[in-house]
Structure 1
Amino acid sequence: MNTIKVLLIDDDALVLDDLRTLIQWEYYGFTIIGEAKNGKEGLKIFYQQQPDLIIVDIYMPILNGLEFCQQVMKEKNPPKIILLTAYKDFEYAKQGIRLGVSNYLLKHEIDEKTLTTELLKVKKDLLHKNNNNKIIQRQIFSQLVTQPFSTFNHSFPPSQWGPNLNHSGNMVLFLLQIDSPFFLMESLLKKIILYPPMSTISCIELLLNRNPFPQMIQEIQYIPLNELQSVVLLFFKNNIFSEQNIRTLAYDYALSIQQKFKQNNVSTLSIVLSNPLHSLQEIHPIFNRTVEGGKHLVFANKSQILWLEDIESKYYHCGDIRKEQAAIKQAFLKKEEKKLTLELKHGFEKTWKLGWDLCAFTDLCRKLFYIIESYYDQYDKNSFYEELNQTHVYSMWYCASDIQSWFVNTFKKITIDHNQYSSRIQNAIQYIRTHYDQDLTMEEVAENLGISCIYLSKLFKKETGQTFLEYLTNYRIEKAKYILRKGDYKVYEVAEQVGYKTSQYFSSVFRKNTGMNPSDYIR
């Protein structure tokens, strides 16, 4: 918690001076925010400054210490109170304890050690209370965000809300979202290895707790939704009436969070901001809209700060896209490279260039991915997922323009590869890719294709530019690199998985092709 605010009240100026100079208050996390000579002055400062701790004398003119305590302890969140007393006031001190004050100190016994010990007890109690309040407030806030207000109001009467939810000023809701690849199917996520970014649960909590509130912000509440998303609600002070000022302050605060996140993380953060809200009833509906807006960030770029209204203004229903999907599939089956590129462009333009149609975009991507996946299922299924696992590949899955480029490039590569070789060499390559982990020979491949070994050797060299053995070796080494990067197997196990009988021979071939030993490649 922030520094603990302290109010001193005593009609003796010497006592006030002694208390002020007896210890280094800031060193222990306390700040004296005011002094008063009687209970009436003390009440005025109390209502203005809302101190966390009050040290007050019992005997004072106008309003004595006990009368002061009676009034203060009626508040919803009363502060800690320490009474100052002399021996003859002991009975009064006991009355104060019954009123709920924390403790009392005998004036003639106060020294640095006594005061410090008592202050540290108070600090410990306040920290415990503050942590409990945070947990309760977060539970209440979570219900407020995720439930309709009528349900929330029934579950939590206003007496439990706390000062921030009894707030009557303006609010702005943030969706903080760590940028992540836009993947299509859960099954795909299980087939590739991803290195997840640090979660919002740890990062954003750290950011918000470390950064002091801007002067115009009264309170901040937040809840994590999942590893990648958190919701933040900013409560602005009641004296800010201009919506433009609220927007400016909210945007500046979002920008500061984003910049600090960038300084401490490899990942990037995007933020969706709601319009200013004026009542608690607005929070749940705007939360649902903001989360939906966060899904559309795929059409923007990484590290964005966008107003929800700007996102929603781009929502668009493009209509049926089955015609575009069929045209793309037809061009692919005929291996018409130029037409395929053109049809892909038309399909994507319809789903996101004219407006943001998330459903149509997702459906198009899913259909296209299925076409590619089906092709590789016939030829080399494992190499497809190995390629997806490369950093440069899944880094293209963050925004729509890059996803479009990935599909265009992938279809182009398949088309070129298919048109590049005769059907016999295509079949030979497919046989290599499905039997590379065995004791494979060119004679076996030629027999499978129904041609002579000499003819296959000449045709393979002519079309691929490599001998059969060179191609097989290079393919095995690429597979070995992938397995070694995963770090799950020892060198001799990798050797067996890629078709080598001994780890010594495998290491020799690997070193010849890469310039390093397999064990060094792992490191």
Structure 2
Amino acid sequence: MNILIVDDEPLIRESAANHLKKAGAHRIYEAADGLEGLQAIGALRPDLVIADIRMPGMDGLELLAALKQRNDDTLFVLLTGYDRFEYVQSALHLGAFSYLLKPFAEEQFTELLAKVRETLERQNRAREAQLRQSIRLHQGTVWMRRRLAEDLVSRRLGNETAIRKRLAELELGTRFERGAHCIIIIALDRYRILSGSLPSDQIALIRYGVENIAMEVLERRSVDALAFDTEDGQGLILSYAPSPGGKSADTDTDADADADVNANDEMARLAAWAADIQECIRRYWRQEVTIGISPPFRALTQSAEACEAAKQALLQRLVRGGASIYLSEPGAMPKEPFKGIGFRVEQDMLAAFERFDTEAAQSIIQSLYEPFISYEYVDQASLLKLNFQLILLIFKIVERWNLEPTKLLGDELALYEEINGMSRIETIKQTFSEWIDRCFEAIRREKDKGSNRIIDKAISYIHEHYSEDVSLEMVAEQIPVSPTYLSSLFKREHNENFVEYVSNYRIEKAKLMLREGRRKIHEVAVLTGFGNVKYFYKVFKKKTGMRPSEYKDL
């Protein structure tokens, strides 16, 4: 619950906020006077406003009157002192929800919040019941009109005669023969989050609410509309009278030339309607939407092409962001469609993984999506193809490291659906980057495990055969790994190379035998793998700082 406190006295605002927090409220905002409060109400859309009756500039009663003039039904509570109770009657007459008397008591706020919560819940239940009743009452007609719209945008109804017949059956003939049509598509920006957290009937209710608001806005402008469902929102086929002197997009006869109007002006009019729809959805349903608009067209047989244009316009939110209105821009086309990731990119990505070069892998992701951003045009088929191929490539690379990508990242189809449901290309890139980081980390852990196993085997072999002629190649062959890789592991894990490790181990064994005193020095040299006594003396003196004979006599 969002609560706004409007009072010109800071101590009063602080006291009210503290009481509200004790009563269980959390999202509390403040404004210092009526004008500031009016602006805050527009920005915050609070559930409850608590305002002092007497304030400089715009007082509480004037603020309440301004809200009622806007048809704003936000719950409004007035603050007043005992000596100003005469104002309460005026406040209640204007439609105030309640009032609070100064000085405050904690019980007042507890009781107030209980009443507010009960009222909000009752309003929500009533709103939902009203919507459900509307759905039931108009279900038949709405379904038939929706089916007509779906047939038009899916090319199942491309004959002008058949279209006129269907319009007549639904008593829409004259309303959809007014000269101009357009398609707008309204997408809920948080649809993916909503569909993952709300039951299907509530999602359907939100969809219906969006459609109902759009229909009401258009009706006020004498625009008729047929609705159809889209993947994450609603589509509307509009029928309206062209602006004075205007024409629809496909009128190019001499007669129409005299009545021509700047196409930008006509699109601006459509954008203004869409902006009104967007604002009303934001105000009444508290949802952000993005709207794509097709160019105007004359014949309903062109509905399918116009629908694709509106969808294409809507896709620009992947690049430019949501909560916006996008007009169809047929000229904004990529230089060439996406042909596929290609062998070279696959090899570059594989090489990045083999080098554990995260930065190079991220750079490849950036370069693959850059064309969609630089052209400010999103070709959906190309984007879906890229998403799919990139997921396959990551799975392929992970499997090469003997890891299971489904355990690491999830089901392939689920990932594809997740990435395709995102509303920004930046979000898509970030998600792929996170997946790649996860893969790098898993591969690194697996490689470290493998490295430890290899080192353990090598050391075990050296300890068992140190008295023999042990070489790097011999040990590598026994594991088996390449000599170069084994050498690098020794250097990394023990901070010394293979030869140094073997030599140091032999010297430690020689020192042990010399301390025991049972063997002669040349026997120790042979038993520890040195063979040559002179070489043994040289290495022993270098490692210990004394000759074997000196060490033996210690």
Query: What TM-score do you get using the length of structure 2 for normalisation?
Result: 0.43
Higher-Rg structure is 2
Q: Which has the higher contact order (CA 8 A, sep 6+)?
A: 1
